[in-house]
Amino acid sequence: MLSYKWIVRIISVVAFVVLWQLIGQAVDTTLFSTPILVASSFANLVTQTSFPTDLLTTIRDFAIGFTIAAVLGISVGIAMARWRTMEVALDPYVSALYSTPYVALAPLFVIWLGIGIYEQLVVVILSSVFVILLNTFAGVNNMNKSYVETGRAFGFSGFKLYRKVVVPGALPYIMTGLRLGIGRGFVGMIVAELLVRLDRLGFLMVYYSELLEVAPGLAIAVTLGLLGLLMTEALKKVETRLAPWRSSATGG
């Protein structure tokens, strides 16, 4: 059964595609392209270029990097909230590094690590880890005091208290951190591809754009957009399962 939400979404997408097709045809198909042209260049990309393998490598590198960033960000965030010394010691770095645009440093990573998976991982991790860390830290600090009090009162302590009370209590914040981290990490990776590595999807997209081959450029952009959408939706699903008391307000 289609929900109201999905019906509206589908109508909106169909309307957009039709409108684009009409305007593209009427004005200039080379400059604005059309959905039909984009679809056919997508087919070309898939059958005749390195696009499929590039896409898979991009997804793989991102998945590995983001998983590391998530584990690192959540655990260090919790540790900083738990131990004041940790907080005092790490806070200056975190604050400074949080707002550093890592893509700008990507050339350095390439010099240090060469072009390969490692330099991509470093870009993804550094782009996303701090926003995850800071949100986790805020989540633990801003958590309703009564949760921990209740945990203690019923005999939880140490690691078990963290697993059963602190982490689930901070989950809404952690989820926000992860969502923001996905965006930052993904953009960071694509930009590194197009600016520094000069290969894979990011570069391919720019390459076609500069040749004024709008249709394949857009085909790649749409693919990346859908990928981002997919990841965000998946995360929302996880959030609805794990933190139902928060998502209930938005009817998820």
Partner 1 sequence: MPPGGVQLQVVELEKVKVEHVSKSFTRSDGRGKTPVLQDVSFTVNDGEIASIIGPTGCGKSTLLRIIAGIASPDSGKITVGGKEVVSSANPASAIVFQAFNLLPWRTAQKNIEFGLEAKGLPPAEREKAAQHFIDLVGLKGYEKYHPHELSGGMQQRVGLARALAIEPEVILLDEPFSSVDMLTRESLQHEVLNILMETKKTAVFVTHNIDEAIFLSNRILSLGGKPATIREVFEVDLPYPRNDEVMVSQKALRLKLDLKKALLSSPHAQSEDPGAA
* Residue 50 engages partner 1 in binding (rule: CB under 8 A): no
Q: How far apart (Å, rounded) are the C-alpha atoms in residues 239 and 53?
A: 31
Nearer to partner 1, 99 or 157 (CB): 157
What's the distance, CA 238 to chain centroid? Answer: 15
Evaluated on CA atoms 109, 112, 115, 116, the torsion sign reads negative
* Residue 227 engages partner 1 in binding (rule: CB under 8 A): no
Which of 239, 131, 222, 244 lies closest to 177, judged by CA?
131
* Residue 248 engages partner 1 in binding (rule: CB under 8 A): yes
Which of 127, 143, 105 lies closest to 177, judged by CA?
127
Nearer to partner 1, 167 or 221 (CB): 167
Kindly identify the residues of this chain, within the stretch 99-128, that bind partner 1 according to CB under 8 A: none
Q: Answer yes or no: are the C-beta atoms of 246 and 144 closer than 8 Å.
A: no
Nearer to partner 1, 52 or 244 (CB): 244
Per-residue contact string for residues 156-195; x = within reach of partner 1 by CB under 8 A = xx--x---xx--xx-x------------------------
Minimum CB distance to partner 1, residue 143 (Å): 11
Q: Answer yes or no: are the C-beta atoms of 197 and 180 closer than 8 Å.
A: no
Kindly identify the residues of this chain, within the stretch 135-154, that bind partner 1 according to CB under 8 A: 146-147, 149-150, 152-154
Nearer to partner 1, 35 or 252 (CB): 252
* Interacting residue ranges for partner 1, rule: CB under 8 A: 146-147, 149-150, 152-157, 160, 164-165, 168-169, 171, 242-245, 248
